[in-house]
């Protein structure tokens, strides 16, 4: 009898090749009929009173019935859990279970392409009558936001990194074209800058909103910001320095959290430590005098150091160490030696005396890749009131050095000498401190960087390993950025 019941279960369930809800119920119905038709008994020991068969059978039926009910409940629950899981909409904060490790770039036709780190498995994600620029990976690596431009204006497109994916236009304007994108850490918001009659506008799209309407939340010239680690606020710096400048927190809805943190000094992008404890910015102490300030929000204490020229700064992604560069003279440039401050101990270390023009932390916080050039400022640094679009027409006579310093040992290695593409030279490097918050040159494994280089006048996407291997040309293209994961 038991064998027949098991055979029937197999035929109705597993043996059919699928187990939907109806088959689950059918299987348990067979098992229940078998339980009700079987007499349960055992041979009693001689010295014991013989049990009452009816009571014994009822007890067994009750136990087996409870087991079946539990199994049926778990089976049905599992089915409904599986169905609900499949039907649950994907949220902006979902995280993939495996690493993405892909590179996005713009091909010579102005279209968005992604590929594996060795140049294989290329996917052309757009094929529109637009020229795309500066693709920004979402934090989970599943999709990208990218700017598309034409003579009549520009827009922002969202597209999944998948074969046959279709770009979705989430913003479009003929008068307020976008030029910079920055995802919130949780992927819930896409913030971006647009040209605006009142200066530069900061707009925001809530990505988990089905309408995905953008809203203007602030204005300023120039405009820099960093998201708090929990994506609840933005620390903005607008107006450079002086009475019209602002350095304050705002909410995603545009509400200002309070008055100025401090009178802004001579710097660009503010930065918040990965644990949210420390703020880094520059404060104007008196007319023409600026100082680096590292504010400990947990203790209300401050580290300050006066600097010349401008200062550019950036936190390690894993701990409370701040790298910064500043000029040795009182100019409008931040080119200069690179130093490292341990905010926990106030220990300050000179990492290199070279003229550093930009630096980028590795994801594991061990290395600082930096770009340097001998000599003084040659005119590509960011102007206090300049805009990205007005710098692109300058010539490109420069050869730069790419080096990496081990922040734990102090060892420095020269990785390559290269000539950057015009967009990298004139649009990315002058604002590297802002782009370092939103776009990644480092691989997720901290073992290589991707850069756009000019080779015999041709724009190339090049991967440079930190282990000393020669740079590897992947393909023709520009504006390459590595996925965060």
Residue with tokens 């390993």: 465
Q: How much is the pLDDT for 152?
A: 86
Place 38 in a pLDDT band, splitting at 50, 70 and 90: very low
Q: What is the mean pLDDT of residues 365-369?
A: 99
Contact criterion met (CB below 8 Å) for 203 and 217:
yes
Report whether pLDDT(40) > 70: no
pLDDT at 75 over 50: no
- Residue 96 banded pLDDT, cuts 50, 70, 90: very low
Q: What integer best gives the mean pLDDT of the chain?
A: 83
pLDDT digits (tens, 9 = 90+) for 219-256: 999 999 999 999 999 999 999 998 889 999 999 988 88
Strand ranges (E), 87-198: 103-106, 112-115, 123-124, 131-137, 143-150, 153-160, 168-173, 178-183, 189-196
Tens digits of per-residue pLDDT, 316-362? 999 999 999 999 999 999 999 999 999 999 999 999 999 999 999 99
- Percent of the residues in the chain that have a pLDDT greater than 90, as a whole number: 71
pLDDT for residue 45? 33
Contact (CB, 8 A) for 157 and 134: no
Tens-digit pLDDT profile for residues 146-191: 999 999 899 999 999 999 999 999 999 999 999 999 999 999 999 9
pLDDT value at residue 336: 97
The pLDDT value given to residue 396:
57
Residue 447 pLDDT > 80: yes
The pLDDT score that the predictor gives to residue 350 is 98
pTM (two decimals): 0.78
Flag whether pLDDT at 397 surpasses 70: no
Report the pLDDT averaged over residues 114-127: 98
Percent of the chain past pLDDT 70, that is, above it, reads 75
How much is the pLDDT for 468?
A: 86
Mean pLDDT, residues 410-416 taken together: 97
Q: Is the pLDDT of residue 59 over 90?
A: no
Q: What is the pLDDT of residue 395?
A: 52
Q: Which of 321, 303, 324, 320 has its CA nearest to residue 312?
A: 324
- At 114 the pLDDT is 99
Read off φ and ψ for residue 67, nearest 5 degrees.
Answer: -60, -45
> Please, what's the largest Cα pairwise distance for the chain?
107
The string of DSSP codes covering 5-46 is: HHHHHHHHTGGGT---HHHHHHHHHHHHHHHHHPPP-----T
- Bridge-based pairing state of the strands 478-482 and 472-476: unpaired
Residues 203, 223 contacting (CB under 8 angstroms): no
Q: What is the pLDDT of residue 375?
A: 53
Residue 288 has pLDDT above 70, yes or no: yes
78 pLDDT exceeds 50? Answer: no
All domains of the chain in start order, with CATH: 2-87 (no CATH), 111-220 (2.120.10.30), 258-485 (2.120.10)
């Amino acid at each position: 009898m038991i064998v027949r019941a098991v055979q029937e279960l197999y035929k109705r369930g597993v043996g059919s090749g699928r187990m939907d809800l109806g088959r689950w119920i059918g299987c348990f119905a067979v098992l229940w009929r078998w339980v009700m038709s079987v007499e349960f008994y055992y041979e009693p020991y001689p010295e014991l009173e013989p049990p009452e068969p009816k009571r014994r059978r009822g007890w067994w039926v009750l136990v087996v019935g409870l087991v079946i009910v539990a199994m049926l409940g778990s089976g049905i629950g599992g089915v409904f859990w599986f169905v609900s899981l499949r039907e649950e909409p994907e949220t902006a904060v979902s995280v993939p279970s495996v690493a993405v490790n892909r590179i996005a770039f713009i091909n010579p036709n102005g279209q968005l392409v992604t590929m594996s780190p060795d140049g294989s498995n290329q996917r052309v994600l757009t094929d529109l009558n637009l020229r795309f620029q500066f693709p920004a990976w979402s934090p989970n690596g599943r999709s990208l936001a990218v700017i598309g431009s034409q003579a009549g204006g520009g827009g922002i497109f969202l597209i999944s990194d998948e074969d046959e994916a279709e770009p979705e236009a989430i913003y479009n304007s003929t008068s307020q074209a976008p030029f910079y994108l920055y995802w919130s850490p949780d992927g819930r918001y896409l913030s971006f800058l647009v040209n605006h009659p009142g200066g530069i506008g900061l707009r925001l799209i809530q990505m988990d909103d089905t309408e995905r309407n953008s809203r203007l939340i602030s204005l300023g010239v120039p405009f820099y910001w960093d998201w708090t680690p929990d994506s609840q606020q933005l620390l903005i710096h607008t107006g450079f320095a002086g009475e019209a400048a602002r350095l304050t927190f705002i909410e995603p809805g545009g509400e200002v959290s309070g008055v100025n943190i401090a009178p802004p000094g001579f710097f660009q992008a503010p930065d918040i430590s990965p644990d949210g404890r420390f703020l880094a910015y520059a404060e104007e102490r008196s007319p023409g005098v600026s100082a680096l300030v590292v504010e400990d929000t947990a203790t209300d204490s401050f580290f300050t150091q006066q600097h010349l020229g401008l200062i550019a700064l950036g936190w390690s992604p894993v701990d409370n160490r701040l790298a910064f560069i500043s000029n040795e003279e009182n100019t409008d440039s931040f080119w200069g030696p690179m130093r490292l401050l341990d905010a926990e101990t106030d220990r300050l270390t000179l990492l290199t005396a070279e003229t550093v023009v930009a630096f980028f932390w590795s994801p594991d916080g061990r290395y600082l890749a930096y770009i340097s050039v001998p000599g003084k400022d040659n005119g590509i640094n960011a102007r206090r009131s300049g805009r990205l679009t007005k710098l692109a027409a300058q010539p490109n006579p420069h050869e730069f050095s790419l080096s990496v310093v081990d922040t734990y040992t102090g060892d420095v290695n020269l990785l390559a000498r290269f000539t950057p593409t015009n967009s990298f030279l004139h649009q990315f490097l002058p604002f590297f401190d802002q782009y370092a918050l939103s776009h990644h040159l480092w691989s997720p494994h901290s073992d290589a960087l991707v850069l756009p280089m000019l080779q015999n006048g041709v724009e190339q996407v090049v991967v440079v390993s930190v282990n000393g291997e020669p740079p590897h040309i992947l393909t023709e293209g520009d504006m390459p950025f590595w996925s965060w994961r």
